Amino acid sequence: MSQKPYSSNPFQTFASPSSVSNAVSELAKQALPFGQSAFTVFCDFDGTVSLKDCTDTLLSALASAEWESIEDEWVRGDISSRECLARQIPLIEGGWPAIQRVLDTIEIDPAFPRFAQWCRSNGIRLFMVSEGLDRVIQYMLDKAGVRVDAIFANHLVCHEDGQVDIEFPRANLSGGCDAGLCKCAILQNPLLNRHKQTIVIGDGRSDFCWSLEADVLFAKGKLVAHAESHQKEVYAFRQFDTVLAELKHLQLQQMPLPQITSEFELVRS
């Protein structure tokens, strides 16, 4: 039987940096036009929007135990996140139907749909930027009825015979970065931001680098301590209701930096 991988634009594999640049340009055209808002929002997905890490949950449920030893190599720093995922994802069994069943057990932050709708209503670009899997993120957002301007993530390939694989269409953006997707390159792309303040929202290791480049950082989990250790001001949050409240305040004030509200603890070194 011939193998026909799942493919849906703009989730493609790009052979060269120029083709990647062209793809980013096309995504930018599909996003909201630049409005009067002072900022653009770049948001991680796994563990930030979703209440559990989707990739880890899929591996735990559907992959052989080998995925854990590969994970240990990555945690020790022996391999890159790109190599880690390239070896782990093909271990998943059952194809897209099995993946979908597992995803149906995972919830997103119940306040995120309100947050996304507020961004859209106010002309604020909201980009999902993740080292996770594009089709997984799209499925989770569709399930919740959430629309964002674009998803930047690694590409999940699902074959008709049940085999799955991963491709890295954003890797060419990374320069010297060995991640499957370089979040810093996305953050700094003028087609996506164009001199707006950058708001970064994240939670873990994949957010360590770009979080330090953000104008305003909202964080939970390990990212809070990382930011503090690098003398980066960070607004710690648990749910998107508090992020929404602070961004409403920022939108109203149109200030270079957000004012502290009682809902947030500003972490300083």
Residue-wise pLDDT for 25-59, tens only, equals 455 444 555 455 678 999 999 999 999 999 999 99
pLDDT in tens, 175-221: 567 888 889 888 888 888 776 789 999 998 888 989 899 999 999 99
Buried b (16+ CB within 10 A) or exposed e, 205-226: ebbbebbeebbbbbbbbebbeb
Q: What is the pTM of this model?
A: 0.81
Beta-strand pair 150-158/164-167: antiparallel
pLDDT in tens, 16-27: 334 444 544 455
Would you state the torsion angle of the CA atoms of residues 21, 204, 11, 166, taken in this order, to the nearest 10 degrees?
Answer: 110
User: Which residues, in sequence order, are bridge partners of residue 108?
Assistant: 50
State the Cα angle at 70 between 68 and 71, rounded to 5°: 60
CATH numbers and ranges of domains, the chain: 17-267 (3.40.50.1000)
Q: Is the pLDDT of residue 122 over 60?
A: yes
The 3-state DSSP class for residue 213 equals: coil
Whole-angstrom distance, CA of residue 66 vs CA of residue 85? 12
Of residues 134 and 173, more confidence is placed in: 134
CB 43 within 8 A of CB 126: yes
The 3-state DSSP class for residue 118 equals: helix
Residue 189, phi-psi category: left (phi > 0), alpha (psi -120 to 50), beta (remainder):
beta
CB 242 within 8 A of CB 263: yes
User: Which residues, in sequence order, are bridge partners of residue 235?
Assistant: 218, 266
CB 199 within 8 A of CB 41: yes
Mean pLDDT of the residues in the chain: 82
User: Which residues, in sequence order, are bridge partners of residue 218?
Assistant: 201, 235
Average pLDDT over residues 253-269: 47
Provide the pLDDT confidence category of residue 123 given band limits of 50, 70 and 90: confident
Report whether the peptide linkage leading into residue 10 is cis, meaning its omega lies within 30 degrees of zero. Answer: yes
CB 82 within 8 A of CB 179: yes
Residue with the two structure tokens 């599909």:
30
pLDDT of residue 33: 54
pLDDT of residue 256: 46
CB 3 within 8 A of CB 163: yes
Of residues 179 and 147, more confidence is placed in: 147
Among residues 219, 55, 218, the alpha carbon closest in space to that of 131 is found at 55
When mean pLDDT is compared across 171-185, 227-241, 252-266, the lowest value belongs to 252-266
Beta-strand pair 150-158/234-236: unpaired
